[in-house]
Structure formats: structure tokens, C-alpha cells
Amino acid sequence: MKKIELVDFLKGYSIFTIVLYHLSQQLHLSAFFYACTLFGGTGAHLFILLSGFTLFLSYQNKKTNYSHFLKKRFKKIYLPYALVIIISASLALFWPIFPKSIYAFLGNILLYNMFDNNIINTYGAHIWFIATIIQLYLVFFVLLKLKKILGNKNFFLISIFVSLSWSILLIYLEKADIRIWNSFFLQYLFEFVLGMILADWMTTGKLQYYYQKIKSWQLVVLFFLSTCLYAGLALGLGTTGRVLNDFPALIAYASLALLIFRLKLNILKKFFVYTGIISYSLYLTHFLVIELLIFFYKTQHIAINLATLFLGLLLIYLVAKLYYFLLQTILSPTTNKKL
């Protein structure tokens, strides 16, 4: 499938803000600035949309059966994830960066962590996303059939209804703040489905038409209004608001990302595009690097501040680049390994 610059940019931007969010948690921030950093974590919403987008485009480009599809996802998604879990668990034997638990290790390797809230975040607060995206992969062919039967409009409206119903159920059952419940794939179904529909629109030229038609000032208004709704729900309704604000969070985050993409800042654009290329490696490894870095800083009595965390950011990128190269060498030995 041909690379799309905007998609790589959006992936890179999403992962970069998620990394910054996890780094910022190491600082002692005021309530206001901490609330601002939470916006970076909403990059997961856009990343789920982009997963549906790229997966549908890839399928359209080369249709395959369910068995071959799962084998490809196993190689591309699960194996890199499992290797990071093995590395993390091995390092935890020597340094107290993660719990030493055979049950937790096997749970993350065998993926039953998605059903046990006690171990889903054993190797980092970002692992929930892997469980969610794998669930979406498992139902992808069902979604393809539903899309074909229902048509794009009804398919999207039903996905919103399902996601909203799941959110309301979580609130009713008082499970909204429990990770294995609020990260179940139904919560993010509408975002994945929207990605599939946008990919469909791209094949017909409709997406390019609408994107060119949207003015930058309209994106600014959209960002402002959706951010107000996103923040209002979270601040006004607490846990209930946070579980219901996924849609405004996605709109606010995507609007800002598109605005930045439209800026005449080629260096910034190239940086995010490159980050998008190594985005999965960056996502998988960044939490491990942060834990090792914080452990080192504390044992060496080095102050944790913006300067030391910036050095950590450089180290995160270096490790991600090396891991990306390793994966290309192991999993795709015949492809071009240039970074």
C-alpha cells in the first residue's frame, strides 16, 4: 500500500503527544497543567481511527481471507508487542521497574490481561491499547460484512449507538473507571468504523474533496467548540464525563492535528512523518525506557525536570529507532531497512 504523508503525520503526532503525556506524569504539575497534559493522551482516539483507516485501505488493496489476515496481524502487531513484554519482564528481574509475576507475564503474553484489571497495566499504562486493537482486529471481517450490508451512513450511526450504549452501561454498572471495561473494543468501535468509512471515501475521491473544502478557520472553530465540550464533560461530570467525551476528544484532537499539518513548517512536518513511520516501535518501547530512566535518575539522585526528561525523550527515540530496525531485520529481511 502506498504511503500517505498525512496518515504518517497524524500517526506521528498522536504517538508523540502520548509519549509527552507519559513523560509529563513524572513532573509535579499544578492541577491546571496536569489537566492540559491529559489532552496528549487523547491521541489514542485518533490512532484507533487511523488503524481502521489503514486496515481498510490495505484490505481493499489486497483482499485476503480471515486466516491470512490474522497471520499478518500476528506477525506485524503481536510479535513486536510480545518481544517488548519479554524484554520488560527480563529487565524486571534485575531492576524493580515492573512487578515480578509469572501470572502477569503469561497474562500479557497470552493476552488474558485484557480480562484481568490487576495485570493489564503490569508493563505500562499503554498496554491497554494493544488489547483493544487486537479485539478490533478479531472482529474486522464482521465489520466489513456489516459495512457492506448497512452502507456507510447506517454503519456509522449504529457504531455510535453501540459505543454510546456501552458507555452508558459502564456508568450504570459503576465500571467506567476500570480499565478492562473502559478499554473494551465497543467503547472505541465508532472511531475504528469512522476510519474504515474515511478510507472508503478516499478510494472514491470524496475524502480529498471534503478535506480541501474545509477551511483552516473552520478547524479552529471546531477545535475550540469540541475542546470546550471535552473539558466540560470531564470537569463537570467526573468519571461519567470522561467516559462520554470520546467523540469531542477525537474531534478536538484531530482538528488541532490537521491545523498543525497545514502550517508551513516543513521541519516539524518531516519530524512527525518520520515519527509516524516508527510509531508502533515508539509506542511499544517508550514506557519501558521511561521506567528505566526514572529508576536511573532516582538511584543516581538526579533531579527529574524538563531538562532531564528532554534527554529521556532523545533516548526514547533512539531506542524506538533501533527497535524499528530490529523488527525490519527480523520480520521483513528482504525489505529496505533504511531509517
- Phi/psi at 136 (5° precision): -65, -35
pLDDT score, position 335: 46
The whole-model pTM stands at: 0.92
pLDDT score, position 28: 82
Q: What is the pLDDT of residue 338?
A: 42
C-beta separation of 331 from 138 below 8 A? no
| pLDDT per 10-residue tile (average), the chain, 339 residues | 81 94 86 74 91 94 90 93 97 94 96 94 93 96 96 97 95 92 95 97 91 93 91 75 85 94 91 95 97 94 92 96 92 53
Q: What does the domain layout of the chain look like in residue ranges?
A: 1-41+269-339
CA distance 176 to 245: 12
